[in-house]
Structure 1
Amino acid sequence: MSGYFILYPSTLPKNFLRPKKTTVPLSDALGLELTEDIFASENIPPYSVSLRDGWALSSACPAVLHEEAAVVNGDEPLRLGGQSCRWINTGGYLPIGADAVYCSELGAKPESGKCVYPGENVLEAGSEWKKGDCLLRASSLVGASESALLIEAGVQLVPVYARPSVAILATGHEIMENGFSPESVRHSSNAHYLQQLFCGLGLTDVSLFFAPDNADTIADRISLLKDAYQLIVTVGGTGTGRSDMLRKAIVKAGGAPADDGAALSSSLPFVCARLGKSSLLGLPGNPLGFTALSQRLALPLVWQAFRTAPYPRRFVSVVMGFDAEAKAGDICVQLAPHGAYIVALPIQKATGRSCVFRDMRAFIPNAGGQALPAGARVQAELFFNGLLF
């Protein structure tokens, strides 16, 4: 079958979007990756702690004759008098001179320390970790467990790789901002799609902007965005036709388009450039090319800017529903359940905008350019759809 869509091999310049190290409050670190080992700055717990409600006393005490004031949780340890005990609640700091907590069903006071062994119902000082112990290694992701561990250790600032800030600039005379719906214009579903994907990766600063197909206007937008965002992704205008203004706009904004890294002259066009501290990736407005390049270039690019782990990929076994020619590249397919199998069907060139977002679900990687006959079982790489699990 011919006429189906293939994404040919392409790459971005090396270090196109560099990871950026920063320090953030622990409350903002969820989902980020540590750039350094984190060590304990104090013993935890700083004092021995009661694990149960009961009476704090010395296991060596021959007789308990006195009941002293109860321990107040949060107060530093009091001293325990001879032949005495203090009532202590769970989490209270053990009095100085006590080494155990006696518990009885009715809360009865112990008669002597012989009823407990040293350390009974006690979490010893420094038993969880000691000052200087490594709590988390560099490259660890800060999840709920890690965050709880760090807050217990009193860590307030966390060294991490920063999430890149991204501006998505949709271009075209026919493109209108969301909320406006005159019959003569269209919403930029491409830009909205990419924004949702980036947010699904964990980015928190992704904004949409719009500009008509005018080199000066696009250049003005880029000039403003390059000072505020680490990455600018443009939508449309990447070709070389009379109405394609992106390359001209980049030059007017003070940048220079780089080689797009295309391995074949027939590959989909995209543009990349550096503008000061910002990087620009220009994707085509054609929804097929835009969606495919978003998955293959934009998502791994952003992931690797704040993750050292490889970009996560998910595969599923499928059956070819068509004969694929011997061409190197990623074949874009839709997936259709058929009994016990999943059948891969081709995405045809010139497929409409809405059909792309509904139907295009996976790539069939074919870097070797092998002919794949109908009925062959192959591995398909699923598109990321904004949900990590």
Structure 2
Amino acid sequence: MKFFNVKTVTETLEVIAGEFQPNRPPIEVPLIDALEMVLAEDVRSGEQVPHFARSTVDGFAVLARDTYGASDSLPAFLDVTGRIEMGKEAAVRLMEGQAQSIPTGGMLPSGADSVVMIEHVEEVGDMLNVYRQVAPGENIIRAGDDVKAGELVMSAGQRLRPQDLGVLSAIGKTKVRVYPRPVVAILSTGDEIVPADKKDLAPGEIRDINSITIAAAARQCGAVVIEGGIVSDDYASFALRAKELFEESDLLLLSGGSSVGTRDYTEQVMQSLGEPGVLVHGVSIKPGKPTILAKAGRKPVMGLPGHPASALIIFHLFVAPLLQRLQGQKPAAYHQRIPARISRNIASAVGRSDYIRVKLEEREDGMWAVPVFGKSGLISTLVKSDGMVEISANKEGILEGELVHVHLFQ
């Protein structure tokens, strides 16, 4: 196979951003089912949260100025005129010189502007001795402090986390419009590849690693996975199974068969699925140069390297952002990055982006990234790694002690 449309990492990401978007319309789902799905519309609150002022402690609702100067030796004296119950309206207005007992979360009575904690008072009959002064607003949440009526609570493109579901619940939102979870089909190729559950391997056979790791990575990105099995290096059977899976999915991933070889049919199969066809035929990157990206109609098809570590690195770099696009997620770096210093010199070839697997070590002088070396076929190198460091195409390497940014693996 001849690489005829090799692009840089940046150019490949630009192709993904320019060519792909959600290919299925938004759906409405119950809030409880929306975790890790992506909002398809802006959400504004029709009400304020909380809709009443409330206490954040057990204590007594007071007017703050009535407590000024209070101390252990000279307490302030207030009249206890009521007791507020949880879930009930505070119907009696608080007047100057008065206090009302209030539980955590209880409604603040009108006239009160603060709450003194129960630990700082002594109740003697209908008299309250206050031993510590409070400031206006202390120990209370005012109406609308959390969310104001009409406020933009969440924007389209937000991936919903547990706390996001919480605020939507607080404003009475029980259903949300989201993008469907993308369906990702994975097909492994190669005469040497056998199912992972095969107990006794014949000489030359290799258990299918990529179907497991890539499927797991896709699910981490919110996708539903179709495990398409394994096909041999035969164009007819490869093309037939690829077409079947393509019809059932939003993204087809072909694992293996993308290296230089006389029986390499990946590019031909991808072209056969529809126009415009192959967009990227090789990426100037190590590991992972034999990566192919195509578009058939509105759907993406991607050929991943057969070597397990290479395939997973390419997934992190390109497939994860592609899945973000298919779910309508806001443009954002897929990887969490943290700064660290590289622990040794690493050479690199100009004109190619190198991704070095690293393990993080926290030392007395800060965080260090220790390279984990190994060939792209060794999945164990990723098990030992916390993330990867990019050496950009315009650099000849990085020097020991140089500050780098580690792309963390999930």
Smaller-chain TM-score range? 0.5 to 0.7
CA distance in 2, matches of 1:52, 1:287: 55
Equivalent residue number for residue 300 of structure 1? 321
CA distance in 2, matches of 1:120, 1:263: 59
Within-5 A mapping of 1:6-21: 9-10=8-9, 11-12=11-12, 13-14=15-16, 15-19=18-22
Pair 1:290–1:140, CA change in 2 (3 A)? closer
1:40 paired residue among 45, 60, 65: 45
Contact 1:226 1:277 in 2 (8 A): no
Equivalent residue number for residue 396 of structure 2? 371
CA distance in 2, matches of 1:256, 1:227: 17
Within-5 A mapping of 1:166-205: 166-184=184-202, 185-200=205-220, 202-205=221-224
Contact 2:41 2:155 in 1 (8 A): yes
Within-5 A mapping of 1:48-67: none
Equivalent residue number for residue 206 of structure 1? 225
Contact 1:169 1:208 in 2 (8 A): yes
CA distance in 2, matches of 1:155, 1:39: 10
Equivalent residue number for residue 4 of structure 1? none
Contact 2:283 2:290 in 1 (8 A): no
Within-5 A mapping of 1:59-78: none
Between 1:205-214 and 1:158-167, the stretch displaced more is 158-167
Contact 1:323 1:372 in 2 (8 A): yes
1:327 paired residue among 350, 357, 373: 350
CA distance in 1, matches of 2:85, 2:360: 64
User: 1:258: Cα distance to partner?
Assistant: 1.0
User: 1:252: Cα distance to partner?
Assistant: 4.8
Q: Quick one: which amino acid aligns to residue 212 of structure 1?
A: V
CA distance in 2, matches of 1:128, 1:282: 47
Equivalent residue number for residue 310 of structure 1? 333
Q: Quick one: which amino acid aligns to residue 366 of structure 1?
A: S
Between 1:203-212 and 1:47-56, the stretch displaced more is 47-56
| Equivalent position SS for 2:318 | helix
Gaps of 5+ in 2: 1-5, 62-78, 93-99, 128-136
Q: Does 1:228 align with 2:231?
A: no
CA distance in 2, matches of 1:195, 1:382: 24
| Equivalent position SS for 1:18 | coil
User: 1:218: Cα distance to partner?
Assistant: 3.0
CA distance in 1, matches of 2:103, 2:253: 58
Contact 1:304 1:311 in 2 (8 A): no
Cα shift readout 1:253-300 (whole Å, capped 9, x = no counterpart): 456631325466998222222334431111121345434423332233
2:388 paired residue among 346, 362, 366: 362
Equivalent residue number for residue 260 of structure 1? 280
Contact 1:211 1:221 in 2 (8 A): no
CA distance in 1, matches of 2:207, 2:48: 57
User: 1:328: Cα distance to partner?
Assistant: 1.7
Pair 1:380–1:244, CA change in 2 (3 A)? farther
| Greater RCO, CA 8 A, separation 6+ | 1
User: 1:151: Cα distance to partner?
Assistant: 1.0
CA distance in 1, matches of 2:358, 2:56: 56
Give me the identity figure in percent.
Answer: 22
TM-score calculated relative to the size of structure 2: 0.65
Q: Does 1:149 align with 2:152?
A: no
Q: Quick one: which amino acid aligns to residue 236 of structure 1?
A: G
Contact 2:372 2:384 in 1 (8 A): no
Pair 1:137–1:244, CA change in 2 (3 A)? closer
User: 1:235: Cα distance to partner?
Assistant: 0.1
Q: Does 1:284 align with 2:305?
A: yes
Count of residues in correspondence between the two structures: 362
Equivalent residue number for residue 235 of structure 2? 215
CA-based RMSD:
5.0
Q: Quick one: which amino acid aligns to residue 327 of structure 1?
A: V
CA distance in 1, matches of 2:138, 2:400: 66
User: 1:166: Cα distance to partner?
Assistant: 1.9
Gaps of 5+ in 1: 1-6, 57-63, 81-85, 111-118
Larger strand fraction of residues: 2
User: 1:196: Cα distance to partner?
Assistant: 3.0
Contact 2:188 2:256 in 1 (8 A): yes
1:131 paired residue among 117, 139, 149: 149
Pair 1:170–1:78, CA change in 2 (3 A)? same
Cα shift readout 1:192-247 (whole Å, capped 9, x = no counterpart): 222333344x4252343213123333333333333432211110122463422323
Between 1:10-19 and 1:351-360, the stretch displaced more is 351-360
Contact 2:181 2:222 in 1 (8 A): yes
